[in-house]
Structure 1
């Protein structure tokens, strides 16, 4: 786990229930108590998402509320990669990756969670389990839940979401999975992003990235709530108002490609983190 030392060195290391945790020193006492209680009776804690065979998300409540994510790595190759950092781990789909991404993004964005602790179980050179503890956004609901309950709000809500996407690019990152379940609405209408397992830490090309965000958001499943014609019109109003200098030659093809067709996670990662891959993708659109 040496490749994470630049992140864990500022945290306090402590072993809890056989898990090596790196804790935020400012909350260490509270977090230690909460984690010890959790491991004593994990079945007593509320789940925040449908559990899978290798993944669970729990709500921990103390002086504050926290989200505890747990991930079991079952394949030896993945265990080896994550322990040794053999690949560019911020492009992989796991909690080690989310720890790296949030550590980079949360320092420059108010729309993302803050890391409270990162934990792991394993012996050299295999990482068996990962834990990530982040702050919980209380009294928030997902965009997905809101528009399912009130579909008439879809168009109005969309303008706020487009503003959020634009702000993330100004802040210097690209969330690679920006769908309605990963965007939360606060009690005052403020929007926040969660689930940073796949994220680019820099913006190679603003207009390319904007085309991806707007196109992907519709494709993933916002299309269930609004017609493509109305979505295009809303995006056009936003672009005219907020991005008058937009390079349409770059934006339009990327937007339509992601709006109309599925694109794999590996392709998204490649073209949003490599200038050469991005240029090749643009040539393919022509």
Structure 2
């Protein structure tokens, strides 16, 4: 069972409004309280939809991600802090656990400022909140590429550098694409959205990296570079990495460039080296 007590020690300020409880790293200002109350009111009208939005909260601007829980079983598991049969937690708890661990290891990322949940009339968690510091001087990689399409190769090299920095800290991001990379002219790239991540070493590093680099190409990047050019950049990157099996890497890499791989299937690549597409 997952206890939230260790997390709450680092997020000691509790904000309660209606049937929502949030645990925050800093005492919220009046502006922050007003913004959080407005967000919670909006959630009452849109409980079944995922939401991601910046909050105007004064000195510490926040970015809120809210995930509803779709099934009774998921609500019970998250309420009790229990994992699924496969040992993994439901997505909102996975994101919290991974974000806390990535932050602890010093990953280039947006700071976690708080987390919390809304309960239904039975006391079950029905949606989960992740609050991070808003990177208001950054843009995501998709927007940056729209404005700088001629800089695709430097972007890819920098993205590979960020991916390698995550790997060095044993953080494996299985949703690594341009939209989850934040860019500022004055600072290093940052990774966001740690929902589908692992904070352990994979027994299948070649297959996992093959998926990551293939997936990165398939989402957005393919629009701005030929496949042959991208393959050359991948080869350049792999030359710096010892211990990658070319055969195992290529089998997953080639498929991931062109086939949809669901988020549950990505876990299978990390855990078993198996790629199931479609």
TM over 0.5, yes or no? yes
Q: Does 1:102 align with 2:96?
A: no
TM-score by length of 2: 0.84
Q: CA deviation at 1:52?
A: 9.3
Q: Pick from 66, 70, 76: which aligns with 1:70?
A: 66
Name structure 2 gaps, 5 residues minimum.
none
Bigger Cα displacement from structure 2, 63-72 vs 136-145? 63-72
Give me the TM-score of the superposition, normalised by structure 1: 0.82
Distance 2:179 2:89 in 1: 20
CA RMSD of aligned residues (A): 2.9
Q: Does 1:55 align with 2:50?
A: yes
* 2:199 maps to 1:209: no
1:54·1:73 contact (CA, 8 Å) conserved in 2?
no
- Which residue does the alignment assign to 2:188? 190
Distance in 1 separating the partners of 2:191 and 2:224: 20
Distance 1:264 1:208, change over 3 A: same
User: Which residue of structure 2 aligns with residue 48 of structure 1?
Assistant: none
1:217-272 Cα shifts (integer Å, max 9, x gaps): 012231111111110011112222x2254322332222222123221211112331
* Cα separation, 1, equivalents of 2:2 and 2:238: 44
Q: Secondary structure at the match of 1:62?
A: coil
- Which stretch of structure 1 is more off in the superposition, 244-253 or 226-235? 244-253
Structure-2 change in CA distance of 1:237 and 1:66 (3 Å): same
Runs of 4+ in 1 over 6 A off after TM superposition: none
Q: Distance in 1 between matches of 2:105 and 2:40?
A: 36
Residue deviations 1:5-41 (CA, integer Å, cap 9, x gap): 33224431524213222222xx2x2x25344212444
**Cα distance in 1, alignment partners of residues 148 and 41 from structure 2:** 32
Helix, strand or coil for the counterpart of 1:185? strand
Match of 1:221 in 2: 220
Change (3 A) 1:195 1:3: same
Cα contact 1:67–1:135 (8 A) shared by 2: yes
List runs of 5+ in structure 1 lacking aligned partners. Answer: 46-50
Question: Given that residues 21 and 117 in structure 2 are in contact (C-alpha distance below 8 angstroms), is that contact kept between their aligned partners in structure 1?
Answer: yes
- Whole-angstrom CA distance in 2 between matches of 1:217 and 1:91: 25
Which of the pair is proportionally richer in helix?
1
Partner of 1:83: 79
Q: Deviations over 1:166-220 (max 9, x none)?
A: 1111111111111111111112262111111111111214333322211110122
1:36 aligns with 2:37: no
